[in-house]
């Protein structure tokens, strides 16, 4: 289905919440309460995001997590990468090394092309884009004549 893992989906829910008060520290437990995702799972996700430098953590009592940088600079690609590892449609897109189809290999280069296109797409969308209201206001076109009334 070419789908993202549930954890990745959760991650975006969590991150969107954190965008709202970017400067605040959020503890795992707090995030769990707000999002309704079980606390151990939330922790797991947060840890992965820290490891990938999407979030920064502060340890100890009164510790918590915050965004590592502005939402405009956190790409969807980086979030997926944090949760699921390198974005690669096929084994071959990741590395030629342990590929089985030695016989059908003419193709390989092409998946890489598709893969690259998708990567570009995912890098063009940021967390900031994700939290925009679902329905963007339609652009209003004003007849030029109105400007002279």
The answer to whether residue 58 forms part of the interface with ligand FES (CB under 6 A) is no
DSSP state of 113: H
Binding residue for its own copies (CB under 8 A) from 42, 45, 76, 82?
Answer: 76
Residue among 20, 68, 28 at smallest CA distance from 45 = 28
Beta bridge partners of 126: 75
For residue 13, the tally of other CB atoms under 10 A from its CB is 17
Residue with tokens 């502060």: 58
**Alpha-carbon span 26 to 63, nearest angstrom:** 8
The answer to whether residue 12 forms part of the interface with DNA (CB under 7 A) is no
**Alpha-carbon span 144 to 74, nearest angstrom:** 39
Binding residue for ligand FES (CB under 6 A) from 6, 53, 101, 110?
Answer: 101
The answer to whether residue 131 forms part of the interface with its own copies (CB under 8 A) is yes
Containing H/E element for 18?
helix 6-20
Binding residue for its own copies (CB under 8 A) from 7, 52, 56, 84?
Answer: 84
Kindly indicate which of the ranges 39-47, 63-71, 88-96, 141-149 contains the residues binding its own copies, using the contact rule CB under 8 A.
88-96
CB 133 within 8 A of CB 88: no
Q: Give the residues lining the site for its own copies (CB under 8 A).
A: 1-4, 9, 12-13, 16-17, 34-36, 76, 80, 84-91, 101, 103-104, 106-111, 113-114, 117-118, 121-122, 124-125, 129-135
Binding positions for DNA, rule: CB under 7 A: 1, 3, 5-7, 10, 26-29, 38, 40-41, 43-44, 46-47, 50-51, 57-65, 84
């Amino acid at each position: 289905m070419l789908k993202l893992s549930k954890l990745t989906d959760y991650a975006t829910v969590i991150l969107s919440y954190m965008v709202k008060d970017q400067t605040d520290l959020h503890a795992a437990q707090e995030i769990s309460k707000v999002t309704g995702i079980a606390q151990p799972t939330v922790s797991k996700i947060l840890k992965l995001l820290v490891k990938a430098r999407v979030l920064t953590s502060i340890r100890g009592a009164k510790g918590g997590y915050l965004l590592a940088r502005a939402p405009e600079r956190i790409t969807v690609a980086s979030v997926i990468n944090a949760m699921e590892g390198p974005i690669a449609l096929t084994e071959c897109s990741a590395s030629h090394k342990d590929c089985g189809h030695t016989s059908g290999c003419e193709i390989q280069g092409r998946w890489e092309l598709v893969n690259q296109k998708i990567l570009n797409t995912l890098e063009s969308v940021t967390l900031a884009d994700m939290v925009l209201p679902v329905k963007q206001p339609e652009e209003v076109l004003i007849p030029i004549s109105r400007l002279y009334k």
